[in-house]
């Protein structure tokens, strides 16, 4: 395996990460704006990506903006927002063909960086606020998006589990925002939130591709100049101890029940036990060969799906399953039995080895994609710990069964959320 290097350059107001690799025919540039998540900011921050993609001072309509991307040899561009631990991140990403492969073109990277600068720094304004037509229209888009979550039952159940489990914690804030905030947001208020983001957020810039580093660095220095005065940094929290087990049941008109469980692991990215947590999750429910899939789905045919996933910055782990509404008790028992089995050391050598191989396979797949590389490194910024891909692989390989068992004992159930049918599944009995 080749070792990737994140060559960092520290500026006063942002950090540049240059990752030089011959893997790709493209250069990918990402801007990541982050700040600790707060209830009063969140809906505004969720709305900003929608508005910025509808036009900029230089490209007043969405079509103008898209035509400019065509001009950049069909560059691919998006702005997204997400939650990492107790931080909210707004990401601008641009994928450009590498100019090396285009005859007569040697300024594409420069043009791409200028484009990002325009979109981020010179939005379409009406006086000293955003264009109100765009803001009103995009408020509707966000409203539709929030309203449609309830149609995606798995996503809905996941959101409700976190609502209940993390009440009163910043992690419980919904990253897509809240309907009740929308009325108070106008072009003025939103522009202020945007200005706060652009000047005060922590900013990390990534460039991944077959690069000449000095050249890339000098383009960025000359073309990407924003007057910034960052005053926030990544928020890292001490993992919380689990409370008494909390059981929540809600009913809707649905066929398939969703049984989602929330655990506290007490283990975050920086922790020495983090690699063992990854292996624990893989044995428990991370893959099609995991205990949850084999027992809940294959052996007892109880669920259409049953899997687990861990969160790296807050110390949480979730189990998701889709079950017939009347099978709640049986499914919950079998899920808990799988956890107990690992605590008792019922992990075969084959399970352990296959799980490690699969984790390493997915890490390697991740770093074969430009966005995968960026997200993998950015996780280190959020997590506050640096390591190479080689070190990560070695850490996974050296995990022992005893370490997995030790992790399984730290992992504790906190909240059980069940979304069931209104008739409680009576007619299916």
Q: What angle do CA 161, 166, 167 make, to 5 degrees?
A: 105
Q: Which of 137, 167, 309, 357 binds other proteins (CB under 8 A)?
A: 357
Rounded to the nearest whole angstrom, what is the least distance from the CB of residue 53 to other proteins in the complex?
10
DSSP-based three-state secondary structure for 406: helix
Q: Which stretch binds other proteins (CB under 8 A): 234-242, 270-278, 362-370, 410-418?
A: 362-370
Q: How far is CA 329 from CA 47, 254, 301, 333, 414, in A?
A: 41, 18, 14, 6, 17
Rounded to the nearest whole angstrom, what is the least distance from the CB of residue 298 to other proteins in the complex?
11
> Measured between alpha carbons, how far is 237 from 320 in angstroms, rounded to an integer?
25
Closest CA to 207 of 228, 227, 195, 221: 221
The DSSP bridge pattern shows strands 202-209 and 15-20 to be: parallel
Rounded to the nearest whole angstrom, what is the least distance from the CB of residue 29 to other proteins in the complex?
14
**62 near other proteins, rule: CB under 8 A:** yes
- Nearer of residues 178 and 304 to other proteins, judged by Cβ: 304
The DSSP bridge pattern shows strands 26-36 and 6-10 to be: unpaired
**74 near other proteins, rule: CB under 8 A:** yes
The structure tokens listed for 289 are 């060969």
**58 near other proteins, rule: CB under 8 A:** no
> Measured between alpha carbons, how far is 311 from 265 in angstroms, rounded to an integer?
9
Sign of CA dihedral 59, 14, 174, 305: positive
255 beta partners: none
Q: Which of 212, 365, 394, 402 binds other proteins (CB under 8 A)?
A: 365
CB 228 within 8 A of CB 13: yes
- Nearer of residues 307 and 411 to other proteins, judged by Cβ: 307
**70 near other proteins, rule: CB under 8 A:** yes
Rounded to the nearest whole angstrom, what is the least distance from the CB of residue 326 to other proteins in the complex?
20
- Nearer of residues 4 and 251 to other proteins, judged by Cβ: 4
- Nearer of residues 69 and 254 to other proteins, judged by Cβ: 69
The size of the interface with other proteins (CB under 8 A), counted in residues, is 41
CB 154 within 8 A of CB 259: no
Rounded to the nearest whole angstrom, what is the least distance from the CB of residue 136 to other proteins in the complex?
16
**71 near other proteins, rule: CB under 8 A:** yes
**252 near other proteins, rule: CB under 8 A:** no
CA 179 centroid distance within chain: 22
Rounded to the nearest whole angstrom, what is the least distance from the CB of residue 389 to other proteins in the complex?
9
> Measured between alpha carbons, how far is 255 from 161 in angstroms, rounded to an integer?
19
Q: Which of 73, 387, 401, 424 binds other proteins (CB under 8 A)?
A: 73
**57 near other proteins, rule: CB under 8 A:** no
- Nearer of residues 98 and 129 to other proteins, judged by Cβ: 98
Q: Which stretch binds other proteins (CB under 8 A): 78-86, 93-101, 168-176, 396-404?
A: 93-101
Rounded to the nearest whole angstrom, what is the least distance from the CB of residue 118 to other proteins in the complex?
17
- Nearer of residues 50 and 418 to other proteins, judged by Cβ: 50
Rounded to the nearest whole angstrom, what is the least distance from the CB of residue 26 to other proteins in the complex?
5
What is the DSSP code string of 255-322?
SSEEEEEEEE----TTSTTHHHHHHHHIIIIISTTSHHIIIIIIIT--EEEEEEEEETTTTEEEEEEE
The number of CA neighbours under 13 Å toward the Cβ of 107 is 5
DSSP-based three-state secondary structure for 187: helix
> Measured between alpha carbons, how far is 14 from 254 in angstroms, rounded to an integer?
48
Q: Which stretch binds other proteins (CB under 8 A): 126-134, 196-204, 250-258, 350-358?
A: 350-358
Rounded to the nearest whole angstrom, what is the least distance from the CB of residue 291 to other proteins in the complex?
14
Q: Which of 98, 110, 129, 412 binds other proteins (CB under 8 A)?
A: 98
Ranges within 253-312 binding other proteins (CB under 8 A): 287-289
Q: Which of 67, 150, 179, 232 binds other proteins (CB under 8 A)?
A: 67
Q: Which residues bind other proteins (CB under 8 A)?
A: 1-2, 21-26, 62-63, 66-67, 69-76, 95-98, 101-102, 287-289, 350, 354, 357-358, 360-361, 364-365, 367-370
């Amino acid at each position: 395996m080749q070792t990737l290097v994140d060559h960092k350059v520290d500026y006063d107001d942002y950090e540049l990460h240059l990752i030089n690799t011959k893997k790709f025919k493209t250069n990918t540039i990402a801007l990541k704006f982050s700040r600790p998540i707060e209830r009063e900011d969140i809906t505004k921050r969720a709305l900003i990506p929608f508005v910025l993609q509808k036009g900029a001072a230089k490209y007043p309509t969405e079509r103008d903006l898209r035509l400019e991307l065509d001009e950049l040899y069909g560059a691919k561009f998006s702005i997204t927002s997400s939650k990492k631990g107790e931080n909210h991140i707004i990401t601008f990403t641009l994928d450009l063909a590498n100019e090396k492969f285009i005859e007569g073109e040697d300024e594409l990277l420069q043009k791409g960086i200028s484009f990002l600068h325009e979109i981020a720094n010179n939005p379409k304004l009406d006086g000293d606020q955003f264009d109100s037509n765009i803001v009103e229209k995009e408020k509707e888009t966000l409203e539709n998006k929030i309203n449609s979550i309830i149609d995606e039952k798995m996503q809905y159940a996941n959101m409700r589990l976190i609502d209940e489990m993390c009440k009163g914690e910043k992690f419980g804030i919904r990253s897509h925002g809240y309907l009740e905030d929308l009325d108070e947001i106008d072009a003025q208020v939103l522009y202020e939130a945007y200005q706060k983001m652009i000047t005060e957020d922590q900013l990390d810039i990534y460039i991944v591709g077959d690069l000449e580093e000095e050249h890339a660095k000098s383009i960025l220095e000359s073309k990407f100049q924003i007057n910034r005065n960052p005053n926030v940094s990544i928020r890292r929290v001490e993992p919380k101890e689990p409370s008494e087990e909390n059981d929540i049941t809600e009913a809707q008109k649905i066929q398939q029940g969703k049984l989602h469980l929330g655990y506290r692991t007490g283990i975050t990215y920086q922790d020495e036990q983090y690699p063992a947590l990854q292996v624990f999750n893989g044995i428990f429910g991370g893959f099609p060969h995991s205990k949850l899939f084999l027992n809940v789905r294959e052996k007892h045919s109880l669920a259409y799906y049953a899997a687990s996933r861990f969160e790296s910055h807050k110390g949480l782990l979730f189990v998701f399953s889709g079950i017939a509404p009347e099978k709640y008790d049986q499914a919950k028992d079998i899920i808990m039995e799988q956890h107990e089995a690992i605590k008792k050391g019922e992990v075969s050598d084959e399970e352990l080895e296959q799980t490690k191989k699969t984790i390493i396979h997915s890490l390697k797949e991740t770093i074969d994609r430009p966005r995968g590389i960026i997200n993998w490194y950015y996780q280190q910024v959020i997590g506050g710990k640096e390591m190479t891909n080689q070190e990560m692989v070695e850490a996974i390989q050296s995990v022992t069964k005893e370490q997995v068992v030790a992790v399984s004992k730290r992992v504790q159930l906190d909240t059980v959320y069940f979304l069931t049918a209104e008739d409680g599944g009576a007619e299916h009995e």
